Amino acid sequence: MFNNPIAPKGADPWVIFYGGYYYYCLSARGGVCVARVSDIRDLADAEPTLVWQPPENTMYSRELWAPELHFLDGAWYIYVAADDGRNENHRMYVLRGTSPTNPLEPFEFIGKITDSTDKWAIDGTVMKYADKLYFVWSGWEGDVNIIQHLYIAPMSNPYTISGERIKISSPELIWELNGGEPKINEGPAAIEYNGSMHIVYSASGSWCDDYCLGILTLKNGGDPLSAESWVKSDKPILSKRDAMFGPGHCSFTTSPDGSQTYMIYHANLVSGTGWGGRSVWAMEFSL
């Protein structure tokens, strides 16, 4: 189906299908961009449109990481991690589209999205479950870059966290601990598949060949805001193999007719090339 990689360069790919098009949200040109293609196999030829550029000299002017595009409550939103040039100041921010129909139109800055702790946060995503919204992200427990956990919190609307954060995953299994410190769980992506809610996430050092994808599954009838409701797989669902190293940070989309689910992720063709060697890959997803 796919001739991988589908794009020769790219990291943290966020791709969704909406209204007959695939939309690819990415950091580029000094800001956040959105590209549109009819066929996901043409992603390499997608022309990014700059939809938002941060002003200079703010706490969110630099290091724009892993933007995600979502259509929620009749509007387009982008969630992006940003800082002032110092990684310890990374927080999550929300942008809202000026057009309810076209995400290639400019986005406006809404503000920071955080729980009461206001700790380091990246890779924020929105999970919709039982008609409620939840924010899921990777963060620090304190203020030191030692370990990244996955947190979840309730949302009262697409730009507001309305409760305390709950830790639902920490790097603890052997396959989550490669690469040294900081120990990492990051890049959560929620998907409802075969009647169950899942969060696929990245584990181990993002700079190493052993970066991989794990999965959490919500117990039937479980409360998403209870850590005990999430069950972690005892092995990764995608890890390195011949000519594919460090697969991680995925998003989910579908075939145009909705009959197939695709997972879009980044990986390296060459061992040891780390952050600089990433390209965009795709595969049919099944559990």
| Distance, CA of 1 to CA of 165 (rounded, Å) | 40
Please check whether residue 247 lies inside any domain of the structure: yes
Contact 82/63 with Cβ under 8 angstroms?
Answer: yes
For the chain, the average pLDDT equals: 97
Q: Domain for residue 77, yes or no?
A: yes
Please give the span between the terminal C-alpha atoms of the chain, in angstroms, as a whole number: 18
Burial class (CB in 10 A: 0-12, 13-18, 19+), 251: buried
- Run of H or E residues at 179: none
Give every CB contact of residue 156 below 8 A, 6+ residues apart in sequence: 162
In a domain? residue 8: no
Answer yes or no: is 115 within a domain: yes
Note whether residue 7 is domain-resident: no
Q: Answer whether residue 6 is part of any domain.
A: no
Residue 89 structural domain: 14-284
Give the residue-averaged pLDDT of 77-99: 98
Residue 4 lies in a domain: no
pLDDT, tens only, 204-259: 999 999 999 999 999 999 999 999 999 999 999 999 999 999 999 999 999 999 99
**What CATH number corresponds to the domain at position 271?**
2.115.10.20
Q: Is residue 140 part of a domain?
A: yes
pTM: 0.98
Contact predicate 69/78, CB 8 Å: yes
Q: How many domains does the chain have?
A: 1
Q: According to the model, what pLDDT value does residue 201 have? A: 99
Query: What are 178-196's pLDDT values in tens digits?
Result: 999 999 999 999 999 999 9
Q: In whole angstroms, how far apart are CA 286 and each of 17, 42, 260?
A: 18, 23, 9
Catalytic residues, by residue number, are 12, 186
**pLDDT value, residue 92:** 99
